[in-house]
Structure formats: structure tokens, C-alpha cells
Amino acid sequence: MMCDISPRLSLFVKAYHQMTNKRWEDGDCLGEIERTNENCALIAKLEDEALLFPPDPKALIPKSGEFCEIQLQPPRSNSSFFSRSLDDLLNYPTHLHSPPETFFVADTDEYHPSTTQPSTLLRGYLDTIKFIDLLKSLSDHFDSSTGHLRFVFLQREKLEVQVRYLKKDLRSLLCVDSLETVLTEKVHAEQRRSILKRILLEELQTIPEENRFSALLNRLDYIYQRFLDNYQLYVSEFSFDSIFKDISNKKLEYILKLNKNFSEIQNQLLAVPIAALLAWSQMGKGFNIKNSLVFLTSLVFAFFMSMLLRNQKASLGAIKEEINDQLETLKSDYVALSSRFKKIYDDLDDRCRKHGWLLVLVDISVGTIIVAVPAVLLFYYSILQMWVNQF
């Protein structure tokens, strides 16, 4: 159902619906129409409104069952506009940012304004127009003297955005109303504008100017979420970027601590095979004082290495506890954002787990090399000596 539609546009659409075998030539619509009483009266009105070329005189004479060809000239002004499709409407640069007061889209058969729900594409177009109006209030300068609207945003750098887009870029922009609301609130008004302009600069500065607006439409939901995150942190006297940077730096500190935790015993671990080799080489045949002392020395060495490894395990546990405490603090202070930092802490937890297993493996290896092997050798040589003595 249409409302406040231009009479000329309504008249043209009515004739368009009555035509058959329609075709387009040089912007005009040609086709055939039956010469009924109603249609002949319609043709006369079209002629009065200068919406068609002068028809064949017989077109004004009713004769049911007979058809005549007419050539319509669609209304295409700022007050009323007939478009074959949304692409046809967007071919006019001014319509990219300023739609006609009333218009009709033929391929979807819908008016604007209308009391009926618009199609998805038309909804996307109307949302885009509303978003453009929002950018006019946000930008530091805008100009449409060339037909194409251009926005200028002044932040750390100058950002220019030219309004260029195609039908394929249109979609329902569900966040436009919400964005309009938060930008018109008086509390922190300038800070809100500054945050959004900074995000626009970061997201669009590397994109060629002619593609920036279409990229903006595609990324708008993400940009809006970034805006909410940054504003929420601004209210807490932080910025999302500084928090992220701080957590990334802490991650690096924890990685260095974990690496240091293992590197501190690397030199001692290098001594393990050397000590084991010396112990094995000193083992003689039989169960004697020398072999017993070598074995006892191996036990003492293994004990100290075990103490060192347990000390490193305790240090690793302290690091892991510190990481968990920081994660819990983050969850309580920034409930809405904690999930976005989860991957960093998952990586750290994985590193802690791997370091823990590595220390366990080293502990087992030390026990095997320093204690088990000499014990086996001592037992072997003792049994061998007993066997020799028997024979």
C-alpha cells in the first residue's frame, strides 16, 4: 500500500502495469495497451501530464480487443522517479546519498514511501541512506558539488570517503539506529565521535578511496562492535587497544619466565650424562667398597638433581597460579571483553602444561641414568663375582 505518492508517478505505474510486450529504448518504455474505455482515458491523462509521446489518434478511440503501441516517458525528477530496478535508481550519483521524495522500483514492484514492509534490498538502500545522514553529522566536512558525496574526517590523519556503492553492497544495517542513538547522547558526546572517527581511520585508511564506502558497509557491524568495546573501556578510563597491548606484553613476560624456568637447569642437565658416564666407568667387578661409594655418590647426585627439579616445578606452579589470577581479575573487571583475550591465556596454559611434562620427563631420565643404571651394574657385577667365586 502506497502513501504520499506523486500523482504523475502513480499514473505512470498504472499505465506500465497495463502494457504488454514492454521494451526499453533510450530511457523510454514502449509497449502495447488494449484500447478499453479505461485505458483510453488513461492515455489521455498521460498525454496531459507529458508522460508519453503523442500517440496514434486511434489510441484514444476505445475498441475492446484491439491494441495500440504507446511510448511512455518515465518521470525522473527529485520529487518522483520511476526506476526499472534498484541498479537503475543507483545509476544516478545523487541517488546514492539523496533518494527522490517518491519512487517506484519496477522489478520488485514496490513504492517508496509505502506502508508495506520493503524488500531486503530496498531496506538495505534505505538503511544506507540513513547511515549516510549519520555520517554527515559525524564528518568534519562533506561536499556533493560534483554529484558524488565525499566525506572528510580529521583525526590523526585526514580520511576521505566517497559515497560509491553497488546493489550487491546493500544489506540491512541493523546497527544504524543503535549507532545513531549512542552518537546523539550528550554524555561524552565528543569522546564518542572521536572514538568512532579513530576506528574509521584504522579500518579504512589502507583501502583505495573509491572502495572505502562499500567496505564500510560490509564492515559496519564489526566497526560498531569495536566502537562499543572502545567506549566501554573509555568510560573505565582505559582503551581497548591499551588493554590488549598490556595483556600481550604480559604474555611475553610469562613466556620469558617459562623459558627461564627450564633454561636455569639446562647446564646442570648437561652434567647428567657426563656424571653418569664417569660413574659407570668407575664401576668394577664384585661387590666392594669402591662400587658402593660410586653408587652412593650417584644417589647423592640424583637427590640434588631431584631437589633442583622440584624447585623448578614449584616455580612453574607459581607462574601458572599468577597467570590464572590475572585471568580471573580480567574476567571480573572486563566481563564483556574477557572472552576476546581467552586465546592468549589458552596459549599460556598450553605452554605451562608442556613445560610440566618436560620436567617430569627430565626427572624420570635423571633417576634412570644416575641411579637405576649404576644399581643394575652393581647388581650385575656382584652376581658375576659370586658366579666366578663358585667356579
Query: 274-294: per-residue pLDDT in tens?
Result: 666 565 556 555 555 666 666
- Between 325 and 87, where is the model more confident? 87
Other CB atoms within 10 A of residue 229 CB: 21
Residues above pLDDT 90, as percent of the chain: 32
pLDDT number for residue 27: 87
What is the model's pLDDT at position 6?
Answer: 80
Tell me what the mean pLDDT of segment 126-154 comes to: 91
**Residue 196 Cα to chain centre, angstroms:** 16
pLDDT top residue among 235 and 190:
190
* Residues ≥6 apart with Cβ < 8 Å to 38: none
Identity of residue 299: L
Question: What mean pLDDT is reported for the chain?
Answer: 80
**In contact, 18 and 33? CB cutoff 8 Å:** yes
Whether the pLDDT of residue 174 is over 50: the answer is yes
By three-state DSSP, how is residue 161 classified?
Answer: strand
pLDDT at 1 (0 to 100): 47
* Cα 147 from Cα 150, distance rounded (Å): 9
Residue scoring higher pLDDT (211 or 146): 211
- pLDDT tens profile 22-72: 999 988 999 999 888 888 888 889 888 888 887 666 667 778 788 888 899
Mean pLDDT score, 293-305: 68
Strand partners, 152: 141, 160
Residue 368: per-residue pLDDT: 66
Which pLDDT tens digit goes with each residue over 60-97?
Answer: 777 878 888 889 999 999 899 999 999 999 999 999 99
In the numeric block, which cell numbers belong to residue 280? 659407570
Question: Would you say residue 217 has pLDDT above 60?
Answer: yes
The position carrying cell 591465556 is 345
Q: Tell which residue, 92, 116, 105, 102, has the closest CA to residue 1.
A: 116
* Under 8 Å between Cβ of 239 and 230: yes
- Other residues' Cβ atoms within 10 Å of the Cβ of residue 352: 20
Tens-digit pLDDT profile for residues 239-276: 566 677 777 777 778 777 777 766 766 666 666 666 66
* Cα(238)–Cα(266) distance, integer angstroms: 41
Q: Residue 47: phi, psi to the nearest 5?
A: -70, -40
Q: How many helices (H) and strands (E) in the chain?
A: 12, 9
Per-residue pLDDT at 371 exceeds 60: no
Residue 189: the pLDDT is: 83
- Report, in angstroms and rounded to the nearest whole number, the Rg of the chain calculated over CA atoms: 41
Distance, first Cα to last Cα, the chain: 117
Find the largest Cα–Cα distance for the chain.
141
**Proportion of the chain above pLDDT 70, given as a percent:** 75
The residues that bridge with 31 in the sheet, in sequence order, are: 70
CB atoms within 10 A of CB 199: 21
Length, in residues, of the chain = 391
pLDDT band per the 50, 70, 90 thresholds, residue 128:
very high
Report which of 236, 308, 207, 237 is spatially closest to residue 267, judged by C-alpha positions: 308
Look at residue 51 in the predicted model and tell me its pLDDT. 87
Question: In this predicted structure, what is the pLDDT of residue 387?
Answer: 47
pLDDT band at residue 212 using 50, 70 and 90 as cut-offs? very high
What local confidence, expressed as pLDDT, does residue 384 receive?
A: 46
Confidence (pTM): 0.60
pLDDT at 204 over 90: yes
